[in-house]
Amino acid sequence: MSEPLVIIGNGMAGARLCEELSRRALGRYAIAVVGQEPQLAYNRVLLSSVLAGEVPANEIALKSSGWWRDRGVTLCYGDAVTAVDVAKRMVTCADGRTLEFAKLVFATGSRPIRLPVTGADLPGVVTFRDMADVATMSRAAGRGTRVVVIGGGLLGIEAAYGLAKAGAAVTLVHLMDRLMDRQLDRRAAALLKRAVEAKGIAVMLEAATARLIGDDRVEAVEFKDGRTIAADIVVVAVGIKPNAEIAAAASIAVKRGIVIDDHLSTSAADVFAIGECAEHRGVCYGLVQPANEQASVLAERLCGREVRYDGSVNATNLKVSGVHVFSAGDFLGGAGTESVVLADPALGIYRKLVIAGDRLVGAVLYGDTVDALWYLELIRTGIPVEHFRETLIFGRALVERQAA
Ligand SMILES: Cc1cc2nc3c(=O)[nH]c(=O)nc-3n(C[C@H](O)[C@H](O)[C@H](O)COP(=O)(O)OP(=O)(O)OC[C@H]3O[C@@H](n4cnc5c(N)ncnc54)[C@H](O)[C@@H]3O)c2cc1C
């Protein structure tokens, strides 16, 4: 008899878990996925490319409906889980149906943080998280539409780029003194700002939003220094919050996210969490690679193998055509680290490697990112780099040529 396994969330982590499980133990579990979004799981990372008109919206499904059917997965999408009863081993959905489980996985992702200012709920204020948000933005933004994007992180920049490409007049505003301040050092961020401006996007740094102005819909953004910018649409991309409320209501331990141990187990027996809703060793990841790594470890464990999850390395790639940016690990470098830098400002190339002892622990690449995955692998595996340290900054080709 197959054990009933319920996954809450039809996003990237939930889909990856199904894939990993079906590869390892097809038939061992009777899997049901309950997903709030009204379509098959899709590649959320590609939403930026959909917004920019570079990938059609109907081409980003992770798996076809046949794939799910052939693996016997019951998909309940367009429905949300509203409650979990850990003692009775049962979930309840918004439409009233209940599902029993032997094992339960939270893969509920996160949601955008709303701006804590007056006017944040006005019509015309949108976020950037799902297919519905992209449809709203695409409908609203045409030639000459005035758009203010609040938030100069990865998502804000990608939204600004997509909307500028659609012909909108875009201003990107950021609270900090450099774009992508959580992924890039100062020099890389300065190059990025230049490249973003070259795409026709106005960039305002150190701009703290005071309120959004409008009667029936948003009309302008007012900043704390008194400046005001007119806006037909305001895109808010200031961070994410894990969807952990249902777990908390079921008395499962939650801090920022649903707390999991190295086995991906929550505080409740046979209940697990993966992806952006989970908090592991105090970290809530906001990227897809950690979600995939967690899904893979959980699939192994659900098949009875004794593996652990030790955490992931954060690595980021910006998806703006012609702007190549990559950062991974400890890219700033603190006490006990050394930085090796290669820069050619005229060519717009900047490379910084952070080394601790004999290991590479962080990297920032701007302009030329062909070696990104190689550096990432060195950071992830932690293999000693001392015997090729002199050439490390020049990339894999030279290191391998010298070793041959
Ligand atoms: C525009 C954009 C660009 C991105 N670009 C990158 C990138 O370049 N690189 C990168 O690594 N990451 C990127 N990300 C982040 C990446 O998409 C996420 O890290 C990844 O999707 C996390 O997977 P997840 O399954 O945890 O969450 P999600 O993919 O968000 O899936 C969670 C799902 O659970 C559903 N859900 C929530 N609550 C319930 C409930 N109660 N009942 C039923 N269903 C529920 C949600 O509706 C959602 O469908 C990007 C994100 C966005 C929005």
Q: Is the separation of the CB atoms in 71 and 24 below 8 Å? A: no
The model's pTM = 0.95
pLDDT at position 51, please? 95
> CA-based angle 213:150:274, to the nearest 5?
125
Q: What are the residue ranges of helices labelled H in 219-272?
A: 245-249
Atom of ligand 1 nearest to the CA of 274: 26
Closest among 287, 370, 274 to 329, alpha carbons compared: 287
Predicted pLDDT of residue 142: 83
Rounded to 5 degrees, φ, ψ at 292 are -65, -40
Q: Which residue type sits at 273?
A: A
In the beta sheet, which residues pair with residue 233? Answer: 147
CA–CA distance, 124 with 110 (Å, rounded to integer): 22
How many angstroms does the Cα of residue 47 sit away from the middle of ligand 1? Answer: 11
Distance between Cα 175 and ligand 1 center (Å): 24
Q: Please count the helices (runs of H) and the strands (runs of E) in the chain.
A: 11, 25
Longest dimension (CA), the chain: 69
Strand duo 233-236 + 125-127: pairing: parallel
Asked whether 35 lines ligand 1 (CB < 6 A), one says yes
How much distance in Å is there from the Cα of 198 to the middle of ligand 1?
30
pLDDT at res. 141: 86
Q: How far apart are the first and last CA of the chain?
A: 55
Residue 119 near residue 130, CB atoms below 8 Å: no
- DSSP code at position 159: H
Which is the closest atom of ligand 1 to the Cα of 134? Answer: 1
**Residue 2: which of 34, 31, 32 has the closest Cα?**
31
CA of 14 to the centre of ligand 1 (A): 10
Task: Give the pLDDT of residue 207.
Answer: 97
The answer to whether the CB of 51 is under 6 A from ligand 1 is no
- Output the tens digit of pLDDT for each of the chain's 404 residues: 799 999 999 999 999 999 999 999 888 999 999 999 999 999 999 999 999 999 999 999 999 999 999 999 999 999 999 999 999 999 999 999 999 999 999 999 999 999 999 999 999 999 999 999 999 999 988 888 999 999 999 999 999 999 999 999 999 999 999 999 999 999 999 999 999 999 999 999 999 999 999 999 999 999 999 999 999 999 999 999 999 999 999 999 999 999 999 999 999 999 999 999 999 999 999 999 999 999 999 999 999 999 999 999 999 999 898 899 999 999 888 889 999 999 998 889 999 999 999 999 999 999 999 999 999 999 999 999 999 999 999 999 999 988 87
Residue-level pLDDT at 334: 83
Residue 55, phi-psi category: left (phi > 0), alpha (psi -120 to 50), beta (remainder): beta
14 within ligand 1 shell (Cβ under 6 A): yes
CA of 255 to the centre of ligand 1 (A): 19
How far apart, in whole angstroms, are the C-alpha atoms of residue 70 and residue 67?
Answer: 5
Q: Provide the pLDDT for residue 331.
A: 87
| Domain parsing of the chain, residue ranges | 3-111+240-302, 125-236, 324-403
Characterize 376-404 residue by residue with b for buried, 16 or more Cβ atoms within 10 angstroms of its Cβ, and e for exposed: bebbbeeeebeebbeebbebbeebeeeee
DSSP-assigned beta bridge partners for residue 148: 171, 234
Pick the residue whose CA is nearest to atom 37 on ligand 1.
108
Closest of 304, 149, 118, 148 to residue 215, by C-alpha = 118
| Intrachain domains 125-236 and 324-403 with the same fold | no
Ligand 1 in reach of 80 Cβ (< 6 A)? yes
* Topology at the third CATH level for domain 324-403: Enolase-like; domain 1 (3.30.390)
> In 3-state terms, what secondary structure has residue 373?
helix
Question: What tokens were used for 347?
Answer: 């060519």
Query: For 3-111+240-302, CATH number?
Result: 3.50.50.60
Please state whether beta strands 338-344 and 349-356 pair in parallel, antiparallel, or not at all (unpaired): antiparallel
List the CATH code of the domain at 125-236.
Answer: 3.50.50.60
Expressed in angstroms and rounded, the spacing between residue 348 Cα and the centre of ligand 1 is 32
Q: Work out whether strand 233-236 and strand 146-150 pair parallel, antiparallel, or are unpaired.
A: parallel
Is residue 162 within 8 A of residue 154, CB to CB? The reply is no
Q: Which has the closest alpha carbon to 167: 135, 136, 138?
A: 138
Tokens in use for 348? 């717009």
Q: Which atom of ligand 1 is nearest to the CA of 79?
A: 43
**Which amino acid is residue 331, in one-letter code?**
F
Ligand 1 mean position, distance from CA 26 (Å): 25
